[in-house]
C-alpha cells in the first residue's frame, strides 16, 4: 500500500500552527487539526502516532523555518552594529507576526510543559547565540560599550520582542485602555514598523554609547 503524500504532514503541521496562534495550545485536538487541514483524522495517527510526537515535529519545523529566515536576514553583514540591527528588526517583526504562538509558548513554559521546555533547550538558544556573538564582536572592536552580555541580550529581547507577547495577552484579556492609552494608539505604537525601528534604534544606540 503506497504511503500517503507527505504534503499531508505539512498541511497538518501548518493547520496546527494556525490554531495555536489563534487559540493557544488548548485548541490542539486531533479533530480540530484535521478539520482545519481538511484531512481525515485517521491520517493524523498514520503520520504522527500521537499528540506528543506531533507537537515535537511542529515545534522543530516552526523553529527551523524561523532560523533559516533569520540567517537570511543577517546576510553577510560584517559590521556588528548593522548586523545587530538586522537581527533585532527581523526578530521583532517575526514575533509581531506570530504573537499568538509566542504567547502560547510563554504560557506553556511557565507551567512547565516538557515539550515546550525541550524546544527552548534544544532550539531557541541557537539564534540567541548569534546575537551574543555579535555583541561580543562589537565589544571587542570598540563599537559597543563593555557590559555584561547576559544583561545586554535580555535587554535587547525584552525591548524588541516581548512587547508583542504582552500586547497579545492584553488583547485576549479584553483590555480596552492599556496603561491609560486608547487601544488603537497603543497597538499602533508597538506594532508599526516605525515603532519597532524606534525600539531597535534605542537599544542599539544605548549599547553604542561610550562607557
> Residue 57: which of 29, 105, 16, 95 has the closest Cα?
16
Question: Same domain, yes or no, for 43 and 130?
Answer: no
Question: Same domain, yes or no, for 4 and 104?
Answer: no
Confidence bin at 6 (pLDDT 50/70/90): low
Question: Same domain, yes or no, for 119 and 162?
Answer: yes
Domain that holds residue 95: 57-208
Question: Same domain, yes or no, for 29 and 99?
Answer: no
What does each C-alpha distance from 84 to 112, 119, 148, 189 come to in angstroms? 31, 24, 16, 22
Higher per-residue confidence, 134 vs 14: 134
Question: Same domain, yes or no, for 162 and 102?
Answer: yes
Give the chain's domain count: 2
Is the C-alpha dihedral spanning 99, 130, 65, 52 positive or negative? negative
Q: CA torsion 73→74→80→81, rounded to 10°?
A: 0
Higher per-residue confidence, 13 vs 26: 13
Q: What is the mean pLDDT of residues 113-129?
A: 85
Question: Same domain, yes or no, for 34 and 90?
Answer: no
Give percent of the chain with pLDDT exceeding 70.
95
Q: Is 39 left (phi over 0), alpha (psi -120 to 50) or beta?
A: beta
Angle between helices 149-160 and 162-172 (to 10 degrees): 40
Amino acid at each position: 500500500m503506497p504511503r500517503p503524500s507527505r504534503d499531508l504532514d505539512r498541511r497538518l503541521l501548518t493547520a496546527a500552527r494556525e490554531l495555536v496562534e489563534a487559540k493557544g495550545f488548548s485548541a490542539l485536538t486531533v479533530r480540530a487539526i484535521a478539520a482545519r487541514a481538511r484531512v481525515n483524522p485517521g491520517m493524523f495517527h498514520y503520520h504522527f502516532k500521537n499528540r506528543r510526537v506531533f507537537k515535537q515535529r511542529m515545534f522543530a519545523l516552526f523553529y527551523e523555518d524561523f532560523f533559516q529566515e533569520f540567517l537570511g536576514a543577517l546576510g553577510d553583514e560584517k559590521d556588528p552594529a548593522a548586523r545587530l540591527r538586522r537581527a533585532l528588526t527581523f526578530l521583532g517583526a517575526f514575533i509581531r507576526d506570530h504573537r499568538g504562538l509566542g504567547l502560547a509558548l510563554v504560557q506553556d513554559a511557565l507551567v512547565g510543559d516538557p515539550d515546550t521546555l525541550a524546544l527552548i533547550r534544544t532550539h531557541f538558544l541557537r539564534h540567541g547565540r548569534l546575537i551574543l556573538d555579535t555583541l561580543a564582536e562589537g565589544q571587542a572592536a570598540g563599537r559597543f560599550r563593555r557590559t555584561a552580555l547576559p544583561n545586554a541580550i535580555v535587554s535587547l529581547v525584552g525591548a524588541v520582542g516581548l512587547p508583542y507577547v504582552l500586547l497579545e495577552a492584553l488583547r485576549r484579556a479584553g483590555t480596552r485602555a492599556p496603561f491609560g492609552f486608547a487601544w488603537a494608539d497603543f497597538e499602533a505604537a508597538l506594532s508599526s514598523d516605525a515603532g519597532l525601528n524606534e525600539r531597535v534604534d534605542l537599544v542599539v544606540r544605548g549599547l553604542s554609547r561610550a562607557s
